[in-house]
Structure 1
Amino acid sequence: METRLFTKEELAEMEKRTVDRLTEAIEAGDTEVAKRIAQRMYNEFESMHDLYRDWTTATLSYIGRNFGNDTLEAALTEGVRAWWLPNLDKLPTGADAMRQRIKMFVAGLHGHLQPLHIEEDDDKVVIQMQPCGSGGRLVLEGKYEGPDAFLTLDTPQKLTYGRDNFPVYCAHEPPMEWLDIEQNGAPFMVVEPSRDIGREPCSFIIYKDPTKVPAKYYERLGLSKPENLPNKPT
């Protein structure tokens, strides 16, 4: 005797992308169903986001513990090079470039699914995730504690901006900056880690004029600020 778990209609519905189900509900004018599907889509993406976040952090922890800081730095550098430099190459140029670049960067941060706080002054735009959707939430979830804790970098080094007690996931941020400096002379974005990572928001800082990026952001990476930087995106 056959026992079916699903009807053909149920299987057909399960086959659909969630975004297509959401579009169908909107076009049908069923706002309550659309809201439920939108939340489901958020939950699906958050689950996959956190799976890759934890997988990446576990891999970095293994490399750091078993092969040391030099190999960890090399692995992080090559990993960041594979995605950050191509993204930088896609940034707009010409008129209104900085406005569009910042909007693209913010769109990327929305992929971490957390609320943002953004401030602007004459020189820069400062963006915070509240809470940080990746490295910060790892701390808040206790993933750096207990017998299965991810790696904390205790030795001040370039990967930690010269700090101690630095979560290994967050160590991808310095390579983002030094690879950008190597390729373009100035970092598009610099990170100002909070005093209490995870429990206080870190800041992503974008200077509108690359020549105004303070020298301290070069020096913490063991670099010197170049002279004669272009003052506009090119």
Structure 2
Amino acid sequence: MARLEHSAALNSTVRRDDFADLGVSTWALVRQAVERGEREAALAWLEHGCAEARAMHDSIVGFVDDALTYIARFGEEEIGRFLRGKYTPRVHAWLGSTPGVEETMHRFAEFQRAHFAEISVVEEPDRYVMSGPCGSGGRLRRSRAVGATGRAHPWCWGRENVPYYCAHCCVAWEILPTEMRGYPLRIHELPERPGDPCVHLFYKDPAAIPEPYFTRIGLPRRGGDRPAGGADGGAAGAGRQGPADG
């Protein structure tokens, strides 16, 4: 039998199951409770399942920060090289599916939900604005000291003191798409203070992207045509990958 109990040693709720049930997924227990019409049990298992997933999520994000901080010991420029190698195939696949700006925005919202973030999205005449406390790098910054750049590089928006973890947003979603097609997939406004929200900008027309967003990553504006299919072009979900990075 599966059951939840408070652990005084861990100061948290844990599963105290019979051995036969220890390997059963908590999400399977949610489904079983729903199918039996046990509302309170389903909610309890759902809350516990989210806590389990969040703990693993935070551990993995912290591991990435530790790994990048270690890489930086060999020179910060190695982080930029590493991120290029990791994300170049992924960005190629994304652009190969030619998603339009609205589809791109929806996919990034999915990334943030997968990071347990609570975001808001506002449509403005020329762009979509997504904002809220980031569930990955932002949550990491709010929970502990992190490795950060000691000097400015194009791969960290030309800024100092950018968390190494957050630099992947610059490389993957701004630099590489601009090199490949002439403009970013999204534009990231990294907050100075960990408690402030991250802001992600999705311009409907690439020609409307302000010039400073190109100069800060050390790249010239070029091209500027809309993706194939217009503002919402491309096959939804084509070239889709899981929300492992946001």
TM > 0.5 fold call = yes
Q: How does 1:26-175 map to 2 (within 5 A)?
A: 26-65=34-73, 67-90=74-97, 92=99, 97-130=100-133, 132-144=134-146, 151-175=147-171
Pick aligned residue for 1:17 from 19, 25, 32: 25
Q: Which residue matches 1:3?
A: none
Distance 1:137 1:10 in 2: 35
**3-state secondary structure, aligned to 1:224:** coil
Deviation at 1:158, TM superposition (A): 1.1
TM-score, normalization: structure 1? 0.82
Distance 1:88 1:24 in 2: 40
Give 5+ residue unaligned stretches, structure 2. 1-16, 235-246
Q: Which residue matches 2:184?
A: 187
The answer to whether the Cα contact below 8 Å between 2:126 and 2:204 also exists between their aligned partners in 1 is yes
- In structure 2, the CA distance between the partners of 1:227 and 1:89, relative to structure 1 (3 Å rule), is closer
AA in 2 matched with 1:34: A
TM-score, normalization: structure 2? 0.79
Distance 2:67 2:214 in 1: 28
The answer to whether the Cα contact below 8 Å between 1:91 and 1:101 also exists between their aligned partners in 2 is no
Distance 2:188 2:149 in 1: 17
Structure number with greater CO (CA < 8 Å, separation at least 6) is 2
- In structure 2, the CA distance between the partners of 1:86 and 1:48, relative to structure 1 (3 Å rule), is farther
The number of equivalent residue pairs is 213
- In structure 2, the CA distance between the partners of 1:39 and 1:139, relative to structure 1 (3 Å rule), is same
Q: How does 1:199-214 map to 2 (within 5 A)?
A: 199-214=195-210
Deviation by residue 1:118-140 (Cα, 9 ceiling, x = unmatched): 2221111111232x212122222
AA in 1 matched with 2:50: Y
Deviation at 1:200, TM superposition (A): 1.0
Deviation at 1:182, TM superposition (A): 1.9
Distance 1:32 1:90 in 2: 43
Deviation at 1:159, TM superposition (A): 2.4
Distance 1:109 1:142 in 2: 20
Give 5+ residue unaligned stretches, structure 1. 1-8, 145-150
AA in 2 matched with 1:110: R
CA RMSD of aligned residues (A): 2.1
Distance 2:219 2:106 in 1: 28
